[in-house]
């Protein structure tokens, strides 16, 4: 008989954690246009408000290793989920900009802590099962993101109020968490493990190059998440439900590509995969920005999602393979660069949108994707290892 904390059940529980995290982030992203209209925010003001989320994520990243070492990834995953889920309706219902900023900051802290903890737990599950599971875990994050955004597209278009939808999502995720998270592996299995080596390094050499590319990828992915619905609503005059479709298309493509990502990495070199991915993402974003109708823009966002889907996993593997640095420490440094991208991305896109136009601002996604393709050779100077050996967020 399988015990509640057995590795197979823990894998399913960890998949649920990834799903919860992805659904929570997507539910917020899908409702950004509604919050913007409710609080009468300009594009530059919205960009500054979104910084609160990024700041919370970055600050939490500095605490995650220490908290995981003290309490274990099981406790940290569960506690952060308990904090994140009830904040969804609070974000949508925020009556003022200061309260929205404060709530977004706390939401960012919770999401970031959960991100690090659930990835650490995924590595622990892999060790217990003695087989790869990380790709399926990240596919579940994409599935959760698709569910959150897809549900918003359907129900908001059917006339649901944004707050009602947020309450529904919070309830569903709470039930899922109550059923699944108690089946995570015991905290004693990894409590204290993070103290075995250095918990922080400043990137240099190959790790610096990898980290810069991760930063570019995070800025680009965040731009699509934060601004695709706003762009479709403002530039192509899509209604609220249709506007979410770009984000949905992006995430459907991300999920599909992640399900076959390991096979692609076995079939071609990491450099070739990165170059192909960067070029595909750039072409997709150009199509989305030139599209005269939402349906064609959806295709562009889907191609962009296909392109970006395997960039970060390959870069994390490259970081973990840098000689002389523990894999967890190196991947944490790359992840930190990614969160810096989340920090600078919203005001960068929002500021450019206010100065020129949102369409021109989103051309940065094209530029960054092209840079990833151009400098993909950086992974050729590190021994790329399977993603399942990566131990960082």
Q: Distance (Å, rounded) from C-alpha 209 to C-alpha 218?
A: 14
pLDDT of residue 388: 39
| Cβ 73 vs Cβ 117: under 8 Å | yes
C-beta atoms surrounding 188 within 10 Å? 9
Q: What is the pLDDT along the chain (393 residues), one digit of tens a residue?
A: 444 668 889 989 999 999 999 999 999 988 888 899 889 888 888 888 988 988 898 788 777 767 776 787 899 899 999 999 999 999 999 999 999 999 999 999 999 889 877 877 777 777 788 766 766 777 888 899 889 988 988 888 888 999 999 999 999 999 999 999 999 988 777 665 545 555 556 677 888 998 999 999 999 998 998 889 899 998 898 887 788 889 889 988 988 888 887 778 778 888 998 999 999 999 999 999 999 999 999 999 999 999 998 888 777 777 766 777 655 566 667 777 887 887 788 889 989 999 999 999 999 999 999 999 999 999 875 544 443 333 333
pLDDT at 206: 86
Q: What is the pLDDT of residue 1?
A: 42
Q: According to the model, what pLDDT value does residue 391 have?
A: 36
Residue 336 CB-density burial (10 A; 0-12 exposed, 13-18 middle, 19+ buried): buried
Quote the CATH superfamily of domain 8-185: MFS general substrate transporter like domains (1.20.1250.20)
Report in angstroms the alpha-carbon separations of 362 from 89, 233, 298, 338, 342: 29, 14, 15, 18, 15
Torsion angles phi and psi, residue 214, rounded to 5: -65, -45
pLDDT for 330 equals: 66
The domain 198-386: what is its CATH number?
A: 1.20.1250.20
What pLDDT, on a 0 to 100 scale, did the predictor assign at position 174?
97
Residue listed under structure tokens 């649920």: 16
Per-residue confidence (pLDDT) for residue 115, from 0 to 100: 82
Count of residues for the chain?
Answer: 393
* 8 Å CB contact between 149 and 244: yes
Enter the tokens of residue 180. 């699944």
Measuring CA to CA, which residue among 154, 147, 358, 165 is closest to residue 242? 154
pTM: 0.72
User: Residue ranges per domain, the chain?
Assistant: 8-185, 198-386
Rounded distance between C-alpha atoms, residue 334 and residue 215, angstroms: 8
The domains spanning 8-185 and 198-386 adopt the same CATH topology: yes
CA distance 204 to 225: 30
Q: Which two tokens stand for residue 14?
A: 């960890």
């Amino acid at each position: 008989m399988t015990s509640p904390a057995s590795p197979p059940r823990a894998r399913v529980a960890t998949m649920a954690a990834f799903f919860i995290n992805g659904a929570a982030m997507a539910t917020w992203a899908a409702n950004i246009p509604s919050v913007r209209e409710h609080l009468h925010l300009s594009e530059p003001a919205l960009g500054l408000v979104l910084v609160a989320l990024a700041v919370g994520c970055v600050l939490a990243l500095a605490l995650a290793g220490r908290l995981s070492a003290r309490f274990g990834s099981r406790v940290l995953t569960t506690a952060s989920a308990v904090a994140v889920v009830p904040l969804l309706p609070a974000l949508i219902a925020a009556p003022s900009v200061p309260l929205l900023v404060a709530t977004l900051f706390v939401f960012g802290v919770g999401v970031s802590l959960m991100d690090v903890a659930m990835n650490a737990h995924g590595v622990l599950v892999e060790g217990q099962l003695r087989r790869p599971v990380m790709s399926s875990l990240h596919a579940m994050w994409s599935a959760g993101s698709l569910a959150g955004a897809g549900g918003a597209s359907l129900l908001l278009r059917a006339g649901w109020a944004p707050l009602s939808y947020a309450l529904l999502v919070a309830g569903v995720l709470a039930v899922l968490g109550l059923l699944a998270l108690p089946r995570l592996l015991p905290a004693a299995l990894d409590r204290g493990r993070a103290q075995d080596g250095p918990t922080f390094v400043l990137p240099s050499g190959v790790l610096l190059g990898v980290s810069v590319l991760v930063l570019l990828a995070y800025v680009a992915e965040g731009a699509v998440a934060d601004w695709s619905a706003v762009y479709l609503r403002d530039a192509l005059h899509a209604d609220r439900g249709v506007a979410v479709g770009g984000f949905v298309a992006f995430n459907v493509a991300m999920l599909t590509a992640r399900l076959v990502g390991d096979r692609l990495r076995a079939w071609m070199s990491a450099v070739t995969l990165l170059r192909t991915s960067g070029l595909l993402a750039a072409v997709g974003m150009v199509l989305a920005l030139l599209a005269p109708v939402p349906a064609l823009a959806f295709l562009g966002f889907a191609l962009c999602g296909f392109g970006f889907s395997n960039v970060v996993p390959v870069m994390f593997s490259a970081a973990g393979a840098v000689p002389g640095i523990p894999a967890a420490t190196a991947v944490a440094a790359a992840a930190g660069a990614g969160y810096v991208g989340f920090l600078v991305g919203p005001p960068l896109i929002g500021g450019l949108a206010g100065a020129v136009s949102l369409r021109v601002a989103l051309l940065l996604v094209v530029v960054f994707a092209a840079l990833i393709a151009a400098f993909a050779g950086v992974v050729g100077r590190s021994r790329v290892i399977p993603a399942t050996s990566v131990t960082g967020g």
